[in-house]
A and B are shown apart, each in its own frame.
Chain A
Amino acid sequence: MTVAGINTAEPVHKTKGPLRRALDRFFENRAARAGLIILVPVLIAVSTYHLWWPYGPNAIDLKAMNKGPSAAHWLGSDGVGRDVFARLMQGGRISMLVAVCSVAISTVIGFFVGAASSFGGRVVDATAMRFVDLAMTLPPVIFLLVLASIAGTGIAPTILVISLLSWPVLSRMIRARLMELRERDFVIAARGMGAGLPHLLFRHGLPNTIDILVVYATLQIANAILLEAGLSFLGLGIAPPEASWGNMLNLARSTVVLEQYPWQWMFPGAALVLTVLAINFVGDGFRDAFDPRSDLN
């Protein structure tokens, strides 16, 4: 009697849901934990620096021009006496903003193109996928440059350029998943009961592609940070005086800065690589965690 009572009272502890198991797997992954340990402090520092750091990113200290790291300016100062640490934090804020916004936009585009491709019939599918082929064959940087030459510099154009560039790979993955889903019994049943396209897409399509979306979005944020930095490095993304990790690195294209003031470009470079690595670790962790086969290993 009592045994049966316990069993019916607490079935929750016996079987964890798939999401819970995925999270458990994620936190068991050492690399993913390391990624989080790096990423969380970076995010906190970048988003709160204005509360605890005395200098602003564009505040000029004329007594400290091109000075190396010191107690007052932890990471030194640049050619017009701006604090490198403050600019690093502000640059991180801009880089993250650009990355998150562009990934959000490109994820939406990717999902809908993938959906159109798998539900829209042969012609739509063929056109969309040939376009994706083209975009995947050609060097992304080339498209990036062409788009940037039209869109110009600044935060909004940079977001636009990066988001227009990043969706093709995602749309292909979404298409493959939805194609497979379309033939499944529960989708056929839903269709038979008269479900419309929005219901099919958002009630069945979205929950069943959420793993792809999360993994893609995480890894793509790292990619978008790199794209933004690359564009700004070439002088095409975020224009000064606004700070970004890319345009701080751009300073090093002048030989004097490269040779004599390495702190002005090495710190943004290190921040860039560290953040990108951390995000990649977290993204890989998500991918392994969402893969149900990983329990077998």
Chain B
Amino acid sequence: MLNFIARRCATGLLMLVALSVLIFILLRLAPGDPIDAYINPSVPMSTSDLETLRDRLGLDQPLPLQYLAWLLAAATGDFGYSIQRSGVLVLPLVMERIGPTALLMGAGLVIAIIVGIATGIYSAVRRNAWPDIAMSVLSFVGISSPAFLTALLGLYFFSVLLRWAPSGGMQTAGAPFSAADVLAHLILPACLLSIGHAALIMRYMRASLLEVLNQDYVRTARAKGVREFWVIIKHATRNALLPVITLIGSTIGIAVGGAIFLESVFNWPGMGLLLVNAVGTRDYPVIMGATLVIGACVILVNILTDVAYAFVDPRIQVS
């Protein structure tokens, strides 16, 4: 097990390095002098200071060495300054956005998992009854409709027409912090974020459970006189959950994409909004920092689901 975790972590680290190389090359292709990123605009700088900085960042050296210098700086947490917000360091700017995004995505995922698995089980058990067909159609629409459209429709119906939920932000402006207030702001975007994911999980859960229900051990359990409810929950669902766990891990990237759109529709102060604004204003240091942090988080979640999968299904470690 330890061996497996170590190997998985090593590939994760390699991927992170590869990602940083990729982002580095891409952003060096972008117009502008890269040194701009490391100048604090609110502090005046002499030409000799500028040369020292250029030297330290290795900007007069070939690209691979530049990359190493940038990587060393980044490893110590120095991503430079935001170009658009004068004097603001990139790292704290990115770090303070992790919390809200994690909250939104976490809530969305929990809702998606609960709803997806429950409806998936129901659909598989009552196969081809009308609720199953209705849910299959709904899940197809859910997978096909883009996050920004569901976000807009949700905002329009629940905030504008029905006035059930606040229309954006994470807290009421000017009000003191309260958990209930954040929850009220959270619930609508989290539910909307979960739609696509819940639809996907439902389809996988249904297919996987249908397969398991045909297995011999399920028939054996029924023959022994186990109540149908327990056959489904204990014997079938536990085994049908395995592929669903991998699905959740491997689609986390899609969830991040959805979160970006939801954050920009609901003005949720997370990583996605930061990244979109940075791209809009060509704030390259922030783009780089945010991309790396998001990439690292996605890779970490992937490792965690792989490890979780290995715990649940011991067969996986052999291969």
On chain B, the residues within 8 Å of A140 by CB distance are: 253-254, 257
Contact indicator B291/A273 (Cβ below 8 Å): no
- A229 and B146 contact, Cβ closer than 8 Å, known pairs A134-B19, A137-B253, A139-B256: yes
Complex Cα gap A112–B285 (Å): 34
Complex Cα gap A150–B291 (Å): 14
Contact indicator A249/B148 (Cβ below 8 Å): yes
B317 located at the interface, meaning its Cβ lies under 8 Å from any Cβ of chain A in the complex? no
B280 located at the interface, meaning its Cβ lies under 8 Å from any Cβ of chain A in the complex? yes
Chain A nearest Cβ from B154, distance in angstroms = 11
Contact indicator B276/A139 (Cβ below 8 Å): no
Q: Which of A67-75, A97-105, A167-175, A255-263 contacts B (4 or more CB under 8 A)?
A: A255-263
B23 located at the interface, meaning its Cβ lies under 8 Å from any Cβ of chain A in the complex? yes
Complex Cα gap A203–B155 (Å): 54
Complex Cα gap A273–B280 (Å): 26
On chain B, the residues within 8 Å of A147 by CB distance are: 26
Interface centre among B15, B146, B253, B278 (most CB of A within 10 A): B146
On chain A, the residues within 8 Å of B276 by CB distance are: 145, 234
Contact indicator A269/B294 (Cβ below 8 Å): no
Chain B 137-156 per-residue mask, 1 if CB under 8 angstroms from chain A, else 0 = 00011001111110011011
A252 located at the interface, meaning its Cβ lies under 8 Å from any Cβ of chain B in the complex? yes
Contact indicator A258/B275 (Cβ below 8 Å): no
On chain B, the residues within 8 Å of A226 by CB distance are: 146
- A139 and B144 contact, Cβ closer than 8 Å, known pairs A130-B18, A252-B152: no
Contact indicator B257/A258 (Cβ below 8 Å): no
B123 located at the interface, meaning its Cβ lies under 8 Å from any Cβ of chain A in the complex? no
Those of B239-262 within 8 Å (CB) of chain A: 253-254, 256-257, 260-261
- A137 and B302 contact, Cβ closer than 8 Å, known pairs A146-B26, A252-B152, A277-B141: yes
Those of B1-48 within 8 Å (CB) of chain A: 15, 18-19, 22-23, 26-27, 29-30
Contact indicator A141/B260 (Cβ below 8 Å): yes
Contact indicator B141/A273 (Cβ below 8 Å): yes
Chain B nearest Cβ from A169, distance in angstroms = 12
Contact indicator A139/B23 (Cβ below 8 Å): no
From A138, A146, A230, A235, B280 is in contact (CB under 8 Å) with A235
Complex Cα gap A146–B141 (Å): 29
Chain B nearest Cβ from A244, distance in angstroms = 13
On chain B, the residues within 8 Å of A230 by CB distance are: 146-148, 261
On chain B, the residues within 8 Å of A150 by CB distance are: 26-27, 29-30
**Considering only CB atoms, which chain B residue lies closest to A258 in the complex?**
B156
**Considering only CB atoms, which chain A residue lies closest to B12 in the complex?**
A137
**Considering only CB atoms, which chain B residue lies closest to A133 in the complex?**
B15
Chain A nearest Cβ from B172, distance in angstroms = 16
Contact indicator B15/A139 (Cβ below 8 Å): no
Complex Cα gap A191–B261 (Å): 51
On chain B, the residues within 8 Å of A262 by CB distance are: 156
Q: Which 8 A-B pairs have the closest CB atoms?
A: A141-B257, A139-B253, A139-B256, A149-B279, A150-B30, A269-B149, A233-B148, A145-B279
CB-defined A-B contacts under 8 Å, sample of 7: A139-B256, A140-B257, A226-B146, A230-B146, A253-B264, A272-B146, A273-B144
Q: What 9 new A-B contacts, CB under 8 Å, besides A255-B167, A258-B152, A277-B141?
A: A137-B15, A138-B19, A139-B253, A140-B254, A145-B276, A145-B287, A146-B27, A262-B156, A276-B144
